[in-house]
Amino acid sequence: MWNEKKLSPPADRGQVVALIIFTLGVGTLLPWNFFITATQYFKERLTVPNVTSNGTSGGTTTDYNYDSWMALLSQLPLLLFTLLNSFLYQWVRERVRVVVSLVTIFFLFSLTAVLISVPLQPDAFFSITMATIWFINMCSAVLQCSLFGVVSLFPHRYSSLFMSGQCLSGVFAAVALLCSILSNADKSSAALGYFIAPCVATLGTLLCYLLLPHLDFARFYLNRNQCEAETSQELMDSTDKKVVSGEDLETNGKFLSETQESPERSSVFAVFKKIWSMALCITCVFTVTLSVFPVIAVRVQTVYKDNAAWDKVFTCICCFIVFNVMDLAGRAAPSLVQWPSKESFLFPVTVASRLVFIPVVMMCNINNSRLTVLFGHDCAFITIMALFSFSNGYLASLCMAYAPQLVHRKDCETTGSLMTFFLVLGLALGAAFSFLLGKLV
């Protein structure tokens, strides 16, 4: 006899599972955020001493184009390994994928911290840094896909919490940078403290993930499909053993249709046909974002150049902190209101309207810009960045929340992996476009 308690979720006591999923979101984007936020540190390490004819030396920076290469070499492995994970995730256990990825990310962050005190030629340092960025984002791709698949099994608000956590990792990185700038420590010590922070955070993420399956609320959703299949099988066995009336058959059939889906997952292409609109929307959202952030946005300068203290923290506060705080607010907003709806034609229109931010950011106060500066004041740049980042977080969060609603529960993990792939596709396209836009300004 079917027991209704089997399908009644326990309470998330103290919102512990919600906090853990939020923390897992923080951990997935630590590599990306800590490398883009530390732009100034890497550019200083890539400064080549220029010895003049009279024996004096000055610093000239070789055009390594760090921002664009960092963005591209972050997103290419994310794209490749997200695609690979979409087809091969059932061949490697999710627990193995997540643990190995987090451990590797921890060691690569540790390597970056160690290199702070190691003198290297700019070419060698650039090569090692780019290789580190490639491998750390390779692991991040597997980690994101795996965790998006896990989170898709939970109620929809947990997807928003996960993405809010991803955004908080940007705030975490920006605040860590601000603290290192304002500290009285020398540059090496400040940089060391900056890169130790993600090492500690990555270990915390690993511990949270290992704790998750031991909580009743999480275990219910992680094992839900299997439990429903077992419940339905019990009902079928019970039905076979006794004669039932036509009314009983109708009731049992209705129950089976509601609780038992085919145990076999749909093909990747079949799932894509159901979610293609959300997949294209999230690609567009992140293509626009990565086209100008951070490559173009970090070039914007304050109009108050005489104020040395403000000039020192302008990029950190007005670019990185404003972006990440408002992005976080945007990702949290769908828990309060979800507009436009997933069926509305206004949703793709709203996504496409973000294209206007590309020329707008390029026309801010960029030194020696080839374009006309229309938004020169600091307040204008802050307002633009706030709207730009809020719309990014809000629309991206809606896409990730809507997509699982378009498929059966058994296909939620495939949906999570596919949406992550198209999210990263948008990031990669945006990073590629940033090379071109960087030349235009």
Any idea which residue has 């999480």 for tokens? 218
Count of beta carbons in the 10 Å neighbourhood of residue 422: 27
Class of domain 13-229+266-440: mainly alpha
More confident site: 283 or 221:
283
SS3 annotation, the chain: CCCHHHHCCCCCHHHHHHHHHHHHHHHHCHHHHHHHHCHHHHHHHCEEEEECCCCCEEEEECCCCHHHHHHHHHHHHHHHHHHHHHHHCCCCCHHHHHHHHHHHHHHHHHHHHHHHHCCCCHHHHHHHHHHHHHHHHHHHHHHHHHHHHHHCCCCHHHHHHHHHHHHHHHHHHHHHHHHHHHCCCCHHHHHHHHHHHHHHHHHHHHHHHHHHHHCHHHHHHHCHHHHHHHHHHHHHHHHHHCCCCHHHHHHHHHHHHHHCCCCCCCCHHHHHHHHHHHHHHHHHHHHHHHHHCCCCHHHECCCCCCCHHHHHHHHHHHHHHHHHHHHHHHHHHHHCCCCCCCCCCHHHHHHHHHHHHHHHHHCECECCCCCCCCECCHHHHHHHHHHHHHHHHHHHHHHHHHHHHHCCHHHHHHHHHHHHHHHHHHHHHHHHHHHHHHHHC
Structure tokens at 63: 């055009």
Confidence of residue 331 (pLDDT cuts 50, 70, 90): confident
For position 4, what pLDDT does the model report? 42
Per-domain residue ranges for the chain?
13-229+266-440
Tokens representing 414 are 């495939």
pLDDT of residue 71: 85
pLDDT at 257 over 70: no
pLDDT at 418 over 70: yes
CA distance 133 to 73: 7
Helix axes 156-182, 378-402, angle to 10 degrees: 150
Q: Give 309's contacts (C-beta < 8 A, 6+ positions apart).
A: none
User: In terms of pLDDT, which residue wins out, 68 or 394?
Assistant: 394
d(CA 257, CA 235): 12
| Res 2: pLDDT | 40
> Does 226 score more than 70 pLDDT?
no
Adjacent-strand bridge partners of 130: none
**66-121 pLDDT tens trace:** 888 888 888 888 788 877 766 666 677 888 889 999 999 999 999 999 999 888 89
User: Lowest-pLDDT range, 11-20, 79-88, 299-308?
Assistant: 79-88
pLDDT digits (tens, 9 = 90+) for 306-321: 888 899 899 999 999 9
Separation CA 213–CA 207 (nearest Å): 11
Mean pLDDT computed over 334-360 = 93
Instruction: Look at the pTM and tell me if it is higher than 0.85.
Output: no
Whether 391 shows a pLDDT value over 70: the answer reads yes
| Rounded CA separation 405/408 (Å) | 8
CA dist 238 and 323 (Å) reads 58
User: What is residue 348's predicted lDDT score, i.e. its pLDDT?
Assistant: 95
Assess whether pLDDT exceeds 50 at residue 433.
yes
CA angle 322, 327, 330 (to 5 degrees): 130
Q: Does the pLDDT at position 53 exceed 90?
A: no
Q: Quote the tokens at residue 430.
A: 């945006």
Q: What is the pLDDT of residue 294?
A: 87
pLDDT of residue 202: 93
CB 407 within 8 A of CB 415: yes
